[in-house]
Amino acid sequence: MGKLTFRRRKKAAPPQMPPPPPAIEVASTSKAAVKKKAGGARLWMRMDRWGQSELIECDKSVIIKRVSIPARDLRILGPIFSHSSSILAREKAMIVNLEFIRAIVTAEEVLLLDPLRQDVLPFVDQLRRQLPQKGPSTHVVDQTVTRNNEMQSPTAGQWLPVPEAAEVVQDELPFEFQVLEIALEVVCTYLDTSVAELERDAYPALDELAINVSTKNLEHVRSLKSNLTRLLARVQKVRDEIEHLLDDNEDMGQLYLTRKWIQNQQSEALPTGPASNSIVPAAGHLRRLSSTRSGSLMSNYFNDDDVEDLEMLLEAYFMQLDGTRNKILSVREYIDDTEDYVNIQLDNQRNELIQLQLTMTIASFAIAVETLIAGIFGMNIPCTLYNINGIFWRVVGIMTAACIALFILVLGYARWKKLIVS
């Protein structure tokens, strides 16, 4: 019975082993949660039109709900399209992917992805420096100018604007174009700096290669040429995107987010708003006007076909990028010229080696003739010349003179046929 009891205890022991698997399961669950959080949530910086900013960490769903864009647009800001350049217009937002700047711009705020990256920090600094200067203070001055430029009609009791007010409204760019201008400025400055560094390294290296063709110099020039090709592709992408926008007025019109926002606000306010002609401040330096005044004061601003402001902005940076591209092409042309010069040098050296080889071949042929004659006399055959005293030096002299004459004759023929250039 004692043995049976022992066996029963031994069989009852295994049920106490299962506790370790839950620990493994919890660990795997926590790792999956960490991976999901790390993969879904990303660091963004939100900055409004007054320069007030904050860092937020949120996933795609929060961004999609906040700016009302489709989920596929966030892929453009992902790592797959990190080396592409695109400026896309949506109903309430503008998606900007220019080099290292990946942002979503609305009429009231900008959401910047990965704002703590080293190359993104200059863009953040520019936003913080320039947006407050065009923020509330400009809004107050704009309202004051508007009030000073308005006059009251003594008969109808209505406020009638003078044309200067419309000019004040049109002088300043909307918020989204201010952000776009800063982004283009930072990107163009970065590309110009990269091109300047490339020029500073390329020209001395190419001059050194032209003087001394060595493996080290060739490797240095090859590395510079690879960097030039990549830099040219990056400049070309940004330039092509701006050129694409300039070629289509409809796409440029869709980028006027503030214009669309004000139009939506007016369409919502017209059916329910009172029939008054007062001016209501709205969204920074832009005012929402009643239907009777919107056609007279801001007809140009609300015209969907009027894209002159954006066109002038894009043309300025397009010309700057075109100049940067021309600098890169100049460096590439200098590289091509240096390569042609090096190839000419190598071809010249190769021709000299061929000429030397041909000269040595002619000399070898002449010496071979003399060797043949010496071999004939070296045969063990009786000859009467062996019995003549002093015949050796005379035969050697005659053979040597004949070989030299043969060498000169063949060499002259080669030069006559221009096989050897003196």
CATH of the domain at 74: 2.40.128.330
Residue 311 maps to a domain: no
Residue 173 maps to a domain: no
Task: Report the distance separating Cα 217 and Cα 319, nearest Å.
Answer: 34
Structure tokens at 320: 């700057």
Among candidate residues 57, 62, 61, 37, the one with its CA nearest the CA of residue 45: 57
Residue 141 maps to a domain: no
Containing domain of residue 402, as a range? Answer: 346-416
Neighbours of 183 (CB within 10 A): 25
Among 71, 90, 119, give the residue marking a domain's end: 119
382 phi, psi to nearest 5 deg: -60, 135
Structurally, the chain folds into a number of domains equal to 2
Residue 382 maps to a domain: yes
| Cβ 112 vs Cβ 63: under 8 Å | no
Q: Which DSSP category does 278 fall into? A: -
Q: Which DSSP category does 112 fall into? A: E
Cβ-Cβ contacts under 8 Å for 185 (sequence gap 6 or more): 126, 317
Amino acid letter, 110: V
Residue 40 maps to a domain: yes
Among 77, 101, 119, give the residue marking a domain's end: 119
Residue 55 maps to a domain: yes
Neighbours of 100 (CB within 10 A): 18
Which residues is 104 bridged to in the sheet? 95, 111
User: What's CA 144's distance to the chain center, in Å?
Assistant: 44
pTM for the full model? 0.67
Predicted pLDDT of residue 14: 45
Q: What element of type H or E holds 42? A: strand 42-48
Residue 397 maps to a domain: yes
| Cβ 44 vs Cβ 111: under 8 Å | yes
Residue with tokens 């240096």: 338
53 phi, psi to nearest 5 deg: -130, 160
Neighbours of 196 (CB within 10 A): 12
3-state secondary structure of 150: strand
Predicted pLDDT of residue 152: 38
Cα separations (Å) of 224 from 229, 251, 313?
9, 37, 33
Predicted pLDDT of residue 422: 66
Residue 363 maps to a domain: yes
Cα separations (Å) of 117 from 45, 68, 111, 191, 273?
12, 26, 15, 17, 47
Q: Which DSSP category does 280 fall into? A: E
| Cβ 238 vs Cβ 85: under 8 Å | yes
| pLDDT tens digits in sequence order for the chain, 422 residues long | 344 443 444 444 444 444 443 433 333 333 433 444 444 688 999 998 888 889 988 888 888 888 888 888 788 787 766 677 889 888 889 999 998 899 999 988 999 998 999 989 999 999 988 877 554 444 433 443 343 443 333 333 333 343 333 333 445 788 999 999 999 999 999 999 999 999 999 999 999 999 998 899 999 999 999 999 999 999 999 999 999 999 988 888 888 888 888 888 887 776 554 444 433 444 444 433 333 334 433 444 455 567 888 999 999 999 999 999 999 999 999 999 999 999 999 999 899 999 999 999 999 999 998 888 888 877 877 777 777 887 888 888 888 999 999 999 999 988 898 888 76
Among 60, 95, 119, give the residue marking a domain's end: 119
